[in-house]
Amino acid sequence: MSLRHALSELNSVVNGCAPGLIQIDRDLVRLDVRACWIDAFAVPDHSERLLEDFDGISPAFDHWLASERIRFEDRLRTALEDELNRLIEENAAPELRAAAARRLINFEPTHEGAVRSLITAFVEMGDRAQAVREYERCRTALHSMLDLTPSKETVALYEALRLMSQTRGAGSKLSQPATVETGKPAEERDIPGGQTEARAGDTARGPSIAVLPFQDLSAEARHDYAADGLVEDLIEALSRIPTFFVISRLSTLAFRNLDRLPQEMGEALGVRYVLSGSMRITGDRLRLTAELTDTGRGTALWVSKLDEQFFDLLEVQNRLAEAIVGRIAPYLRAAELKRARVKRPERLEAYDLFLRAQENMHNSSRLVFESSEQMFDEAIARDPNYAAALAWRAYWHVLRVGQGWSPDPAHDAKHADHFAQQAVDCDALEPMAFAVQGHVASYLHKDFDLAFQRFETALRINPNAAPAWLWSAASHAWMGNGSRAVEEINRAMALSPYDPLMYAYNSVAGMAYLADGKFERAVEYGLRSIGENRTYTSSYKLLVLACMLGRRESEAQVYLRQLLKLEPGLTIERYRRRFPGSASPIGEIYCDALARSGVPLFD
């Protein structure tokens, strides 16, 4: 078939549906761009190269494609910058500016002007702790992607935030935000500004503390996880003190091997105190140094050096954790300290496998995720009464269903029930066991009465159990209890601000704000989530719903296309069947919004 003949057929077919869309004469073929949507001209919801899979056709084509990709990316960057600048010039609501800045950061993670605008927006919304975390993410992105440090403007903004923290922010202001200059490196752009708030660690929730990863100075590989084990013991013990606000171990892992000032770590984690130290194991001797620091003043409040001979490493970890907690919180009664003990596996090998399984489970790669199942099973085989491993094994099945990776959801639901119950039977003081039981009940069985009973039990055992707050917030969001969901997800995210599953926390936060009718905040959290995990379908559903309900229908189409690419079998019938809140009033509202966006009605 000749090119002319092919174009003639194309013209007859397309113009039959959309007259005038394609115009063909002797010399030119024209497309009326006003009459159709063109993906290459659209502002994307995520960073994606033009014609991703078309490399290697020929050297000439590759050369043309490389130049077109540069033009394409420059055009998109300019469009995103223009949108953010427009909102800044109009002094738009911080929620709108945050969402626009997030789109630009998702496209270019090292765009410091967008980061500064986002920091400003969070400060104005009263979320200074999140503003500090955005600085930390920017610093990490610059280092890992470009081997650069933040520009002097970005550092100056961060220092201004720290100064406000030290002065409690009374009456303090950052410089007024300026537009983001286009076509310049991030370090040449202006500093945004905004209102401030009180330090995160100074709330009425009580003393706030983070236990940082202890430096492992041991030479033997078999002791690699000993320091992690001690840190987990310390966190579990401190978490069971009702007046203490304790950051989760998974979040503090982000600070492993980082040489940062105590004030900086306190700002990033939103705590007043940090406990840090080092451990060295030589033969049968364990040498430990621990230090408690006031992050506000940068001063050490307590330092201890311990030298112990041991025969059972797990036993000495428990004993040292008790000793340190006893010194940090001298007002504890002996009964409280005894209750703070956490059951540990009888064999060290089981604990090693459990930690490695957790690490793999938090990976968004399906192959790596699947490998954690065997590690959990091996840990449980070595210690059948290991409640924490059984609880996480149950959660593995829930996450498998949630990610859409389960070949048989009913089979996974059955196994999730089985392992969660085993965990409760083995240890009635394991909060994760009750938390995951509640999550299974709400997410897989839509039994919210049972779910909230389990969450309440988990939080009675450990008021700082971040997963229990997370899943309780999700359940309230699914039921339409928006304000309660927002309150609880904020608590969960404060307890675990750097969790490896932060994309899930952000997605639940978006659902909470969606249920609360705050659609712009829902969009910002949805964008934050897909910026951390491009394949998380729950967040694309969230973005479609938030845009449709917020009357941003054209933007909803961008997220819908990506959603249907990731989950091609999605229909309203299937969504209604799977959505935990399908029986609540918001269930029909969400189904209607998805149907109006273009999701097919039936399987």
**Cα 162 to the chain's mean position, in Å?**
24
The confidence score (pLDDT) of residue 202 equals 40
The fold for domain 482-603 equals 1.25.40
Start and end residues for every CATH 3.40.50.10610 domain found in the chain: 209-339
Q: What is the CATH code for 345-463?
A: 1.25.40.10
d(CA 488, CA 482): 10
The confidence score (pLDDT) of residue 536 equals 87
- Residue 153's closest CA among 127, 178, 124, 125? 178
- State residue 365 phi and psi, 5-degree precision: -75, 130
The confidence score (pLDDT) of residue 404 equals 75
Q: Where does residue 249 fall: left (phi above 0), alpha (psi -120 to 50 degrees), or beta otherwise? A: alpha
The confidence score (pLDDT) of residue 269 equals 86
Decide if 485 contacts 476 (C-beta within 8 A). yes
The tally of CA atoms less than 13 A away on the side-chain side of residue 525 is 27
The confidence score (pLDDT) of residue 311 equals 74
The confidence score (pLDDT) of residue 196 equals 32
The fold for domain 63-198 equals 1.25.40
The confidence score (pLDDT) of residue 188 equals 38
The confidence score (pLDDT) of residue 248 equals 85
Low-confidence ranges of the chain (pLDDT < 50): 45-46, 169-171, 176, 183-205, 330-343
d(CA 459, CA 199): 25
Q: Two tokens at 16?
A: 């039959």
Q: What is the CATH code for 209-339?
A: 3.40.50.10610
Start and end residues for every CATH 1.25.40.10 domain found in the chain: 345-463, 482-603
d(CA 298, CA 314): 32
